């Protein structure tokens, strides 16, 4: 698929060259004509030159902006049919490009981030919550080598210290939860008066600033400074993960607030937080528009996992309870929109299966570079779909998931209708999205077409037999010292301070 994507870009380039040759031929003919016609021909040449310039720009490496919201399931976006929140900027984005209806993350933050950044299923490189193995190769490292300027702004939660983002391929960063590790210390606020790490420095804000404003300002500044491109701007958003608290656009916003700790109370603020998420996406779009680089920028919006379990939303008459942490649709079915004006057809919908291992190969295809020889990603590029070319959609996706790592995890393969777990449970997720009726005992009664789909899934799952790989703990000094942590938690609670975050 990766090779197919590269060929398609080459084919586009070829058609531009063909147009240029035609224009040159027309010009030679015009030179033999009368002065008046000669003048007309010169004007045509001028117009042609402008078109040529535009065509040349379109063959340059595109900028890439990858935005990933935190805890915002498929049902939260109006363009997907959600009716509980207002998402006008995301709706515009969907109208300007392609909306995917079957994108799957992992059930929580770290497993999704590791899978997204490395292109590998978790059974190959996941260690534990809150860490990315420093020996892994990320999409940022590959694109940086290909000549991209790289930046990450938002939430990190992968350890590695102040040099971690640089190590993983980012030239610049502005992040929450990088140097302040939850197992060792109290994590500062992510929202009002946040504590961040910015390009090697710990910076605590006490001026009423709002974390999402700061990181998006940083990203916009990076984009402005690197407008000539190519650049990769990775924006794993701080929003709209709990604590549920007012945004600067809420009526009861308090700029003196120290942040709401890690409370999941007050989910009604989630409405305001989704609205602010949408606003931040619009801010990035506006920045690209202002610089006139929208047509040479691929903007992708996704989310790292389903909505928090304390939030209930609606899709018309359907009531959707958040399912973060679950391996059901409620935990892993996430929004995905890709906008690339002038290249992706407007207002298109793609029903193909996509999972988080597919992003690294896609970004590599967009950057017209190659995957390192010692890396064999599990996913496949969805660039053909974006270009409206003939694509070979995935027939299934795989998942291995265990929040705390270890040898065993929840494991399954699925297509759009069926899901088969390692322990032989079978669900028709086409009409049982919460997996309430195990059909393993009904196998013999199923129609032949369904049986053949399940056989295909069984064959796919067998590919992963015995592939779990246990990697050594990279930062043993950061592991929780349970007794000390517990004592510290009790002490802080007695003092009225928030306990160390156990954020997902």
308 binding Ca ion? (CB under 5 A)? no
Q: What is the DSSP string of 294-320?
A: GGGEEEEEEESSPPPTT-EEEETTEEE
Q: Considering only residues 109, 140, 302, 338, which one is a binding residue for Ca ion as defined by CB under 5 A?
A: 109
The pair phi, psi for residue 457, each rounded to 5°, is: -65, -40
CA–CA dist 413, 405 (Å, integer): 19
Which part of the chain contacts Ca ion (CB under 5 A), choosing from 33-41, 88-96, 101-109, 388-396? 101-109
Q: How far is the CB of 423 from Ca ion (least distance, A)?
A: 26
Q: How far is the CB of 189 from Ca ion (least distance, A)?
A: 17
CA–CA dist 210, 247 (Å, integer): 8
CA–CA dist 113, 106 (Å, integer): 9
Do residues 198 and 173 make contact, with C-beta atoms less than 8 angstroms apart?
yes
Which part of the chain contacts Ca ion (CB under 5 A), choosing from 109-117, 136-144, 359-367, 461-469? 109-117
CB-wise, 230 or 323, nearer to Ca ion?
A: 323
Measured at the CA of 423, the angle between CA 309 and CA 327, to 5 degrees, comes to: 20
70 binding Ca ion? (CB under 5 A)? yes
CA–CA dist 128, 438 (Å, integer): 29
Which two tokens mark 299? 């903007």
Binding mask 230-249 for Ca ion (x = CB under 5 A): --------------------
CB-wise, 5 or 236, nearer to Ca ion?
A: 236
Which part of the chain contacts Ca ion (CB under 5 A), choosing from 68-76, 160-168, 191-199, 430-438? 68-76
CB-wise, 123 or 305, nearer to Ca ion?
A: 305
CB-wise, 125 or 177, nearer to Ca ion?
A: 177
Which part of the chain contacts Ca ion (CB under 5 A), choosing from 69-77, 88-96, 386-394, 467-475? 69-77
CA–CA dist 366, 6 (Å, integer): 8
Residue among 155, 115, 108 nearest 129 (CA)? 108
Helix 2-31 vs helix 35-58: angle between axes, to the nearest 10 degrees? 170
CB-wise, 97 or 259, nearer to Ca ion?
A: 259
Q: How far is the CB of 306 from Ca ion (least distance, A)?
A: 9
Binding mask 71-100 for Ca ion (x = CB under 5 A): x-----------------------------
With residue 291 as reference, give the H or E element that holds it. helix 269-291
Binding mask 115-144 for Ca ion (x = CB under 5 A): ------------------------------
Residue among 370, 373, 375 nearest 137 (CA)? 375
Q: How far is the CB of 138 from Ca ion (least distance, A)?
A: 18
Q: How far is the CB of 329 from Ca ion (least distance, A)?
A: 16
172 binding Ca ion? (CB under 5 A)? no
Q: How far is the CB of 409 from Ca ion (least distance, A)?
A: 18
328 binding Ca ion? (CB under 5 A)? no
CB-wise, 109 or 391, nearer to Ca ion?
A: 109
3-state SS assignment for residue 480: coil
CA–CA dist 153, 222 (Å, integer): 10
Measured at the CA of 190, the angle between CA 493 and CA 179, to 5 degrees, comes to: 85
Q: Where are the beta strands (DSSP E) in 53-170?
A: 63-69, 98-104, 149-155
Which two tokens mark 320? 């959707």
Give the distance, in angstroms, between the CA of residue 294 and the centroid of all CA atoms in the same chain: 19
Q: How far is the CB of 497 from Ca ion (least distance, A)?
A: 24
Q: How many CB atoms lie within 10 A of CB 482?
A: 9
Measured at the CA of 164, the angle between CA 158 and CA 167, to 5 degrees, comes to: 125
Q: How far is the CB of 403 from Ca ion (least distance, A)?
A: 12
Q: How far is the CB of 473 from Ca ion (least distance, A)?
A: 23
Scanning residues 286 to 305, which ones bind Ca ion (CB under 5 A)? 304-305
CB-wise, 70 or 171, nearer to Ca ion?
A: 70
Residue at shortest CB range from Ca ion: 109
Scanning residues 375 to 414, which ones bind Ca ion (CB under 5 A)? none
Binding site for Ca ion (CB under 5 A): 70-71, 109, 304-305
């Amino acid at each position: 698929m990766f090779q197919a994507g590269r060929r398609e870009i080459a084919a586009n380039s070829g058609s531009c060259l063909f147009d240029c040759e035609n224009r040159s031929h027309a010009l030679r003919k015009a030179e033999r004509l009368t002065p008046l016609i000669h003048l007309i021909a010169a004007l045509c040449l001028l117009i042609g030159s402008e078109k040529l310039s535009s065509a040349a720009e379109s063959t340059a490496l595109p900028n890439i902006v990858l935005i990933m919201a935190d805890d915002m399931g498929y049902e939260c976006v109006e363009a997907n049919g959600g009716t509980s929140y207002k998402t006008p900027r995301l709706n515009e984005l969907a109208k300007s490009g392609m909306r995917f209806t079957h994108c799957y993350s992992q059930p929580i933050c770290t497993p999704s981030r590791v899978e997204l950044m490395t292109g590998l299923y978790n059974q190959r490189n996941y260690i534990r919550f809150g860490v990315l193995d420093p020996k892994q190769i990320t999409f940022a490292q590959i694109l940086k080598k290909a000549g991209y300027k790289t930046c990450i702004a938002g939430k990190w939660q992968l350890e590695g210290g102040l040099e971690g983002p640089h190590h993983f391929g980012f030239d610049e960063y502005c992040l929450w939860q990088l140097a302040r590790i939850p197992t060792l210390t109290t994590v500062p606020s992510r929202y009002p008066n946040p504590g961040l790490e910015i390009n090697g420095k710990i910076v605590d804000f006490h001026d009423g600033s709002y974390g999402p404003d700061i990181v998006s300002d940083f990203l916009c500044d990076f984009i402005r400074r690197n407008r000539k491109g190519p650049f990769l701007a990775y924006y794993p958003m701080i929003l709209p993960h709990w604590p549920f608290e007012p945004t600067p656009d809420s009526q009861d916003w308090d700029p003196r607030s120290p942040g709401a700790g890690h409370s999941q109370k007050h989910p009604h603020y989630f409405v305001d937080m989704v609205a602010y998420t949408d606003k931040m996406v619009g801010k990035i779009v506006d920045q690209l528009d202002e610089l006139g680089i929208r047509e040479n920028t691929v903007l992708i919006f996704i989310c790292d996992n389903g909505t928090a379990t304390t939030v209930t939303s609606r899709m018309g008459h359907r009531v959707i309870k958040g399912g973060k942490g679950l391996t059901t649709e409620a935990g892993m079915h996430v929004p995905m929109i890709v906008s690339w004006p002038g290249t992706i057809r407007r207002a298109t919908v793609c029903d193909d299966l996509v999972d988080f291992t597919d992003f690294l190969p896609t970004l590599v295809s967009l950057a017209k570079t190659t995957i390192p020889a010692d890396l064999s990603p599990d996913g496949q590029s969805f660039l053909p779909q974006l270009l409206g070319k003939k694509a070979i959609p995935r027939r299934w996706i795989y998942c291995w998931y265990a929040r705390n790592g270890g040898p065993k995890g929840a494991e399954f393969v699925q297509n759009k209708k069926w899901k088969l777990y390692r322990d032989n449970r079978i669900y028709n997720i086409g009409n049982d999205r919460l997996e309430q009726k195990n059909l393993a005992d009904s196998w013999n009664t199923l129609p032949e077409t369904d049986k053949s789909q399940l056989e295909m899934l069984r064959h796919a799952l067998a590919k992963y037999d015995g592939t779990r790989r246990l990697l050594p703990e990279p930062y043993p000094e950061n592991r929780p010292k349970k007794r000390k942590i517990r004592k510290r938690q009790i002490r802080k609670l007695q003092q009225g301070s928030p306990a160390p975050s156990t954020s997902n």
